[in-house]
Amino acid sequence: MIPARRLVLATLFLVCPSLRAELNIKALHANPPIGQYTASANAKTLVYIPRDAKPNGGPLYRFDLASGKSRRLTSGFAYIKGEVYADPELSPDGRSVVFAIHSSAKGDHVAAAGPFARMELDTGKITVLDITRMWGGVEPVFGTHPHWSPDGRRILYNVDGTFAIGDADGKTKRELGALTDSSPADERPTFALGWLGNECILFRYDSGTAPARDHPPVNVLSLRSKSVRAYTGANAAAPEDCR
């Protein structure tokens, strides 16, 4: 799946070599222009936030690549009046999208905090993932960059310098930050990048805000063995304990 990202141009050129046809390049002119987006695995649908959205996020739109038309997905509110949305990611089957809810209030992350939610694209139904409303006994939280597991059963997400996974319905949660520390004194910020298979997490030791040139090395956390190792070409193909 193509991850969510931020564009600097209104025109998106989508390259889809995974379709096993000749290289397919499409120039997409959406209205409103595409900002942060996620694309379905079959390259038929985009879900995006407009390029001119507020700093904390904006409304969600669906763009159909066949027709070239956009349709707004969100109206009203699911969590708090005036809410905006960020970091959308489509599920592996393309039927639903998970995203972060933020307050549109200006200020720090506390003022803009909010949970994650999931929308069913066929019905437009939004379900707030209850387990993501609170972290460490504090509500609400400021979460970012959710990622579906390849089997579509779990969601990985970042909160305040650490990360967790939960089931797709938002009923159970497993906090993972402690597994990345070699000792209690080694409590460094971590930022989850995504999944390697269904049982391993790719992450970095940083807060997720550093410029690309300053990114530290990527590591692999095995959920089965609870071990951490460096991410290299040798284990890039999802080793046995990650499947």
Say yes or no to pLDDT of 6 above 90.
no
Query: Exposure of 142 by Cβ count < 10 A (0-12 exposed, 13-18 middle, 19+ buried)?
Result: buried
Verify that 195 and 77 share a domain, yes or no: no
pTM, entire model? 0.84
Verify that 141 and 228 share a domain, yes or no: no
Q: What pLDDT was estimated at residue 127?
A: 94
Residues in the chain: 243
Q: What pLDDT was estimated at residue 45?
A: 93
- Look at 127 and 214; give whichever has higher pLDDT: 127
Verify that 36 and 102 share a domain, yes or no: yes
Q: How far apart are CA 75 and CA 24, in angstroms?
A: 34
Q: Which two tokens stand for residue 7?
A: 């564009």
Q: How far apart are CA 18 and CA 12, in angstroms?
A: 18
Q: What pLDDT was estimated at residue 3?
A: 46
Say whether the peptide bond before residue 92 is cis (omega within 30 degrees of 0).
Answer: no
Say yes or no to pLDDT of 220 above 60.
yes
CATH of the domain at 43: 2.40.128
Q: In one letter, which amino acid is 124?
A: G
Verify that 28 and 93 share a domain, yes or no: yes
Residue 159 lies in a domain: no
Verify that 70 and 131 share a domain, yes or no: yes
Which residue from 234, 237, 228, 183 is spatially nearest to 201, judged by alpha carbons?
228
Going by pLDDT thresholds of 50, 70 and 90, the confidence category of residue 22 is very low
Residue 170 lies in a domain: no
Residue ending a domain, among 132, 150, 168, is: 150
Residue 155 lies in a domain: no
Residue ending a domain, among 150, 184, 207, is: 150
pLDDT above 70 as % of the chain: 76
Q: How far apart are CA 196 and CA 190, in angstroms?
A: 17
Q: Which domain does 190 fall in, by range?
A: 176-243
Query: Exposure of 79 by Cβ count < 10 A (0-12 exposed, 13-18 middle, 19+ buried)?
Result: middle
Verify that 192 and 111 share a domain, yes or no: no
Which residue from 197, 113, 131 is spatially nearest to 170, judged by alpha carbons?
131
Residue 168 lies in a domain: no
Residue 193 lies in a domain: yes
Verify that 190 and 123 share a domain, yes or no: no
Going by pLDDT thresholds of 50, 70 and 90, the confidence category of residue 54 is confident
Verify that 145 and 216 share a domain, yes or no: no
Residue 15 lies in a domain: yes
Q: 10 Å Cβ neighbour count for 164?
A: 19
* Mean predicted confidence (pLDDT) in 133-161: 86
Q: What's the domain count of the chain?
A: 2
Say yes or no to pLDDT of 157 above 50.
yes
Q: How far apart are CA 185 and CA 225, in angstroms?
A: 22
Residue 158 lies in a domain: no
Verify that 194 and 114 share a domain, yes or no: no
Give the β-pairing of 218-222 and 200-204: antiparallel
Residue ending a domain, among 115, 150, 185, is: 150
Residue 21 lies in a domain: yes
